[in-house]
Structure 1
């Protein structure tokens, strides 16, 4: 059983003063948006393995073939962007950032809904016009991001509700999470 309060410790990206959640997709360049979209589709192709998502892998493969030149140019531009910003440590910085991007898109509680959105986007990505990934990324990446925003907002509300519960009923005992309904329960030794 997890320790008391364990479910309230997940780090949620904060909101900027402008109301933008500071995720791996906030404040990025156009090239980074294209690459993050590609990364999200890659995560989906590797992790969305249910039968209803079977087209994802083929759509992703088509996307990569159709946009080989622009993706290569984008990758080169990003390498230059990281080199200019971080100097000799650019490769470590770029690798660390990309690890955060992949981990972000693979967040387990979000994956089912992410798979649905990525599946829809995979058809559009496979048909996007060559040379126009910047246009596609501008509308597609926010659709991916919306899944995470919905989760983060719900999780923040859960923490508010949990604090109110603890304030009203006390925070003693062991806290467990009802995985089916996402409800917090407080189990005190000796009570039914």
Structure 2
């Protein structure tokens, strides 16, 4: 026909072959794509290194640096309230509440009002406890007993007056004061050791926090010690004096005398009786300061 292209047999064969190979390539690519292994996603980015505290740790509760704290014995920090009799515990509770009355400020001066009320309601049992503690010191130290007790009293007052602990101590003192006022006087001696432990707990917690601060400070310095002043860990406080044990009441005598005491006189060369040991001097529980010091005195008992 006119206008039609006439191809030779060889040209027709080449066209057919090109179409066949084109289709074969598409099928091959599809097969290869179906059999290929998927590519693994890229690994996640490396996390940044942990943040290192670069700010120098500070003492807890606004305490001063280079402050000495007591050593630990039997799981607790040594305080002047350890190994106390019930009478001594009650007297230490009274001193702690006296500190609260002078130092704690709350609406209505609750600690002060509680303390005055305590002296009025429980005055006789507090007087008996005071006499018992005096007797204990006299039996233990003889003529030196008064001075020994005064030194321990000073240590106890200083212990409960530690400034950084006042904020946490005052609510506890008010709670203990309320419990004492709600119970009869006959129950005070039994409750006194528990009350003393409750009043001491804020100070035990503070010592633990300060020890943790010293640990963090040492760790901080081990990382940045090349650029800071070397820190010396303060020496622990010396152990406070231990109150004497309970002594028998004046005029007490055993009802039974042993046969040895009845029949055998003391040997002529017997050594003289041992003299009462002098108590150790009280050690300060706070860093020395140049500011004015408050003279702690009991509050008057004639106010409600």
For the aligned pair, the TM-score class normalised by the smaller chain equals: 0.7 to 0.9
What are the superposed Cα offsets for residues 42-75 of structure 1, whole Å, 9 maximum, x if unpaired?
1001100232x62221211111111111111111
Separation (CA, whole Å) in 2 of partners of 1:98 and 1:50 = 26
Gaps of 5+ in 1: 176-192
Superposed CA RMSD in Å reads: 2.1
Q: 1:39 aligns with which of 87, 91, 95?
A: 95
Partner of 1:111: 166
Separation (CA, whole Å) in 2 of partners of 1:91 and 1:128 = 31
Partner of 2:85: 29
TM-score (norm 2): 0.52
Separation (CA, whole Å) in 1 of partners of 2:82 and 2:70 = 10
Counterpart contact for 1:63–1:127, Cα < 8 Å: no
Partner of 1:13: 70
Greater Cα offset, 160-169 or 149-158:
160-169
Partner of 1:165: 220
Q: 1:69 aligns with which of 94, 119, 124?
A: 124
Separation (CA, whole Å) in 2 of partners of 1:32 and 1:11 = 26
The structure that has the greater radius of gyration is 2
The aligned runs of 1:65-144 (5 Å cut-off) are: 65-144=120-199
* Structure whose residues are more often helix by fraction: 1
The alignment of Structure 1 onto Structure 2 pairs a total of residues equal to 169
Runs of 4+ off more than 3 Å:
5-8
| 1:50 partnered with 2:106 | yes
